[in-house]
Amino acid sequence: MSFEHLSGKKVKFDIVNKNGAVLVPADSVLNPATLRLLQQHEINPFDVVVQAVKEEQHTPDSPSKLIQEAAHYSKYLFDRLNFDRKVPLIEIKNQFIPVVRQISRHPDLFELFESVKAKDEYTHQHNIGVGVLSTMIGQWLNLEESELALLSLAATLHDIGKVRIPQELLLRPGKLTKEEFDEMKRHTIYGYEILKGTIGLSPRVMLVALQHHERLDGSGYPLHLKKGEIDFFSQIVAVADVFHAISSKRPHQDSMPFYHVVTLMRQGSFGELNPEIVSLLLDKFIYAMLGRQVLLSDGRVAEVIHINSFDDLHPLVKIDDSLLDLSRNRDIQIVQILG
């Protein structure tokens, strides 16, 4: 395929250069100027995913569909690493990360939240979920584009070391023995070892693979690092990793209700996780509840009318024609966001 054949086509995903910077955003129509830019950056035309402009009236891909496609690619990546032991960095940057970036820009936060929660194929959906959540946090922090591209890559590859963990261990439904858990924890070291041999990869990506289970108080692993020793990207990914894990159905544990996810995350921000990042993430989700239908722990469905600043997990809700202040009825919690 030549670049001329791409003229007039709409780009399905972001096209990025070898450093991860966006050259052509998703949904742009390629023209002679953008095609020259791609040639200057030595982009392979076969790596450009396009669709005809006439398809523009079609409904955009839902986050669920994009996440499913990305999870399939993650599985392919793990299988490929098992076969040839080489990280296909250019392919990942051109075909995988742009999908993660596109998903992270979805305007409906709770639709996105429900989509990224792993329901099966946990390992691969978790890779995508953490990549998307970390990218969103980076966007909210107003990171520079080059930094955001690097964070997206690092977060999506954070668990790449699990390729060396036996499948039966990853999928074990019951509690792991101490020996099995020790082996599971080695995925951080395995990930660092896999990535450090990849030409052109930033050391920060390798650090995230190594450090995303470190905790600010030194209670994490594998090196028991403390706050000043943990890379900031690793701190972001640690928050996204925990948030996604406890929100999802895992082989050994079911997903938690929204109320418990927020409560547990806040507890983790006392000493273990970066409290500023935790607050940023949770505040975005809590205030996105406004105007939404929620399921209460007593089985009733309500609409969130007002977020109580002094007790944001217990907002003012409307049930039929009546108002209920959950801050004064603390035995009732929000179990699920319905829409």
Residue 52 has pLDDT above 70, yes or no: no
Q: Region 285-290: what's the mean pLDDT?
A: 92
- Which pLDDT tens digit goes with each residue over 150-188? 999 999 999 999 999 998 898 887 788 999 999 999 999
What pLDDT, on a 0 to 100 scale, did the predictor assign at position 252?
67
- How would DSSP label each residue in 43-58? --GGG--EEEGGGGGS
What pLDDT, on a 0 to 100 scale, did the predictor assign at position 80?
81
As a whole number, the mean pLDDT across the chain is 87
What pLDDT, on a 0 to 100 scale, did the predictor assign at position 257?
81
Residue 123 has pLDDT above 70, yes or no: no
Name which of 236, 262, 233 is nearest 113 in CA terms: 262
Q: Region 30-34: what's the mean pLDDT?
A: 73
Domains in the chain: boundaries: 3-57, 63-278, 293-337
Q: Region 50-79: what's the mean pLDDT?
A: 69
Residue 54 has pLDDT above 50, yes or no: no
Q: Which two tokens stand for residue 256?
A: 């938690």
Q: CATH code for 3-57?
A: 3.90.105
Matching residue, tokens 């955003």 = 25
- How would DSSP label each residue in 263-313? HHHHHHTTTTS-HHHHHHHHHHHHHTTTT-EEEETTS-EEEEEE--TTSTT
DSSP-derived secondary structure letter, 15: E
- Which pLDDT tens digit goes with each residue over 199-230? 999 999 999 999 999 999 999 999 999 999 99
Cα separation, 77 vs 96, whole angstroms = 10
Q: CATH code for 63-278?
A: 1.10.3210.10
Name which of 232, 215, 224, 222 is nearest 273 in CA terms: 215
- Which pLDDT tens digit goes with each residue over 190-206? 999 999 989 999 999 99
Q: Check: pTM over 0.85? Answer yes or no.
A: no
What pLDDT, on a 0 to 100 scale, did the predictor assign at position 57?
41
Residue 280 has pLDDT above 90, yes or no: yes
Residue 51 has pLDDT above 80, yes or no: no
Cα separation, 95 vs 13, whole angstroms = 8
On whether the CB atoms of residues 165 and 190 are closer than 8 A, the answer is yes
Name which of 296, 338, 292, 293 is nearest 314 in CA terms: 296
